[in-house]
Amino acid sequence: MYDAVVSAMNHPDPFNPYMGLFNFRSIKALSARDASLDVVTPRPRAPPIGPYSEFSDIPSRHEYSSHEVHYPRFLYLLPQKLFKYTLSSKSFSEMLPKYVSSNFETPDICHAGHIHYDGYGLVPYCRSNDIPLTVMGRGKILNNFYNLSQISRRKIRETLDYADGIFCVSESLARIANNITETPKATVLPNGADPSRYPTDNEATIRQELGIDQDTTLVMFCGGYTERKGILEICEALDNIRNDDVAFVFVGHYGDLRTELLAELKASHHENYRVLWEVPPLGLRRWFAAADIFMLPSHAEGRPNTIYESMASETAVVASAVSGIPEQVVDEETGLLIPKKDSDALATALNSLIGNSKERERMGTNGKERLVSKGWTWEAHGQRLANLHETIINDGQLPAAEILG
């Protein structure tokens, strides 16, 4: 048994229950192991009026079934692009060490859900208390590291250099992290999905309830309505995608291209589509179970959880061959990989599967088998994270065999 303080700015709260579900599931999986957790999810101070004023309704603490979360406040200035790595970052890194010191016993280790803000905010506390720090390396910061400002790169490099362990969700991200740090210390810690939570055995009933005919090919997208997730390529591909008994469902919780996507769908020859917003996890798993094809033409990723979810629900995947996606999807075995920013390739891949139900079923079966054989589940994630923490606590560092070369 060991004690850990976890900071995860992207984590659900009572006001926004779908924010950072991957962090919630990671912490929940860790809490089921031999770890006693104090969890901090800092939130911006709410302005008195405006769209963010409702943040004032977030309680100071909230009890989930697996762990309690503290919601301290810090100064978060808009626009984000101008202040994220300067004044807002400074406010966060000043608040977090004081809050942890005042509210928790000194832990054995600190763990950050992200490199920035969480990792950077925990460095001063860990340094002053001589406590090891581990950070999760996800897609956006590491993939864009060399395009960030000098100030941003300095803060991220400082965090990674101080950390005793950098746990990346993909091999491609671990290599980037090891190129940034003076000493390689990144290892791969995949996220995952639990096949037992996806009601594939009840697919026929679910499709009936959702109003999707049994013979209709259901193509699904889940992610942000953003350029980075390939929404523009989807819009460009629509007129070239077969429309003989095909339905589309789009699920997103953020992004400003939803209106543009709706306009393109209305103008296309497709009539059977839904563009949804903030679908609860249970409803989302039902859509995955009902889907025949999952598409994700992203420009950059880590290892997207939505692909794990597709594998868990035996759904064939069409996705861009970027970042960690080729580590998940075996081309022509569990799905089809396409070049990024290529709407023609997207349409061609979708058409080849829309017209071939046996191939879709073969890929879906192979995907689930690959997920299980690789141990890409939340239970395995929690056990591996606990093992990594205990190794660092007991030995002071990870063995060379754990570091990705």
pLDDT at 250: 98
Q: What is the pLDDT of residues 356-396, one digit of tens each?
A: 999 999 999 999 999 999 999 999 999 999 999 999 999 98
The pLDDT assigned to 50 comes to 66
Q: Work out the burial of residue 25: count CB atoms within 10 Å of its CB; fewer than 13 is exposed, 13-18 middle, 19 or more buried.
A: buried
* Domain 2-192+377-402 superfamily per CATH: Glycogen Phosphorylase B; (3.40.50.2000)
The pLDDT, as a whole number, for residue 402 is: 86
pLDDT at position 82, please? 46
Using CA atoms, how far residue 399 sits from 167, 168, 180, 402, in Å, is 14, 16, 20, 6
Task: Please report the pLDDT score of residue 53 as a whole number.
Answer: 73
Assign 188 to helix, strand or coil.
Answer: strand
CA atoms of 61 and 39, how far apart (whole Å): 10
- The whole-number pLDDT of residue 243 equals 83
pLDDT of residue 399: 86
Q: What digits encode the pLDDT tens for the residues 236-266?
A: 999 999 888 999 999 998 999 999 999 999 9
Residue 142 to residue 353: CA distance in whole angstroms? 33
Where in the chain are all domains bearing CATH 3.40.50.2000? Answer: 2-192+377-402, 195-374
3-state secondary structure of 276: strand
Q: Top-level CATH class of 195-374?
A: alpha beta
Ranges of residues in the chain with a pLDDT under 70 are 50-52, 77-86, 405
pLDDT score for 83: 47
